Amino acid sequence: MKSASFLVAAGAAALLVIPTTGPVGAGVAHAATGTEFICENSGAGLSAVDVLSATGDHEVFLDYLREYDPEGYQILTDPAASDKTIWAPTDAAFAKLGDSPESASPEVIKAVLGYHITPPRRTPEGDYPIVTFEYLADGGQIIHQTRTGILTESDQRVRTTVEDGVYTVEGIPLGSTAWCTQAGSIFSVDTVITEVATPSWVERILGHAIYVVFFQHPYVSAIVALGLVTLAGFVAFRLIRRQRLT
């Protein structure tokens, strides 16, 4: 396994890890859950690589991205393109794997890395807000499409859950501190996600139907829905009228 350099900019690290108080966009601590989302100056100018480097605890993840997914790594160096949620394994997480990464094929390593990167979630109106602990808590259980799923068109996803104040992704607890980038966020995990289930054909069909209805043709879908409601109302009216006449 590669050795981590751990050479990070002290100034950037200080900027990212010193808690602050204030409105959304500053470091916000949540005493009830023991979590903290650090977002100094709304992450202005910070890419995912900037933030991961500054934490000093994700160098192996960056090394593997740089070697096995250079395109993905390059994307994450751009603050504007870092509109991703990253479930970043710590150096200790990779150490748990022993020699496993070195014995795997480059394709497998790239796929595993991709499990930890999810693109921005979207609604018909546009992007969701940046994913935070609060957002995860409000969602309860959320399904996130992965970079691997997009690249391979396999629709592989990871799931986050919140139960009794414990935040997890694929059953792995999230670290208590998370950070924002200019356009996304980074959570830390102490275990590497090595396997993700591919959705069943029922889930894929349902997901595609939802995408078509709510994302590709929302106005047409609204008109059709209104027409169906009107038709149902008309049929109900006729039935009630017929019953009264008899």
List the Cα angle 13/16/22 in 5-degree steps.
155
Q: What ranges do the domains of the chain cover?
A: 10-189, 201-245
CATH superfamily of 10-189: FAS1 domain (2.30.180.10)
pLDDT in the model for residue 15: 35
pLDDT at 92: 96
Instruction: Mention every residue, 6+ apart, whose C-beta is less than 8 A from residue 199.
Output: 155, 156, 157, 207
Q: What is the largest CA-CA distance in the chain?
A: 87
pLDDT digits (tens, 9 = 90+) for 81-126: 989 999 999 999 999 998 777 788 999 999 999 999 998 866 555 5
What pLDDT is stored for residue 161 in this prediction?
Answer: 95
Q: Which residue has the higher pLDDT, 131 or 242?
A: 131
Q: What is the DSSP letter of 208?
A: H
Instruction: Tell the residue number behind the tokens 């109106």, with chain if given.
Output: 125
**Which residues does 229 contact at the CB level (< 8 Å), separation at least 6?**
none
User: Which one has a higher pLDDT value, 223 or 135?
Assistant: 135
The tokens describing 22, both together, are 């204030």
Residue 221 has pLDDT above 80, yes or no: no
- Token pair listed for 246: 């008899």
User: Around Cβ 29, how many Cβ atoms within 10 Å?
Assistant: 16
Q: Say if CB 106 and CB 130 are below 8 A apart.
A: no
Is the pTM here over 0.75, yes or no?
no
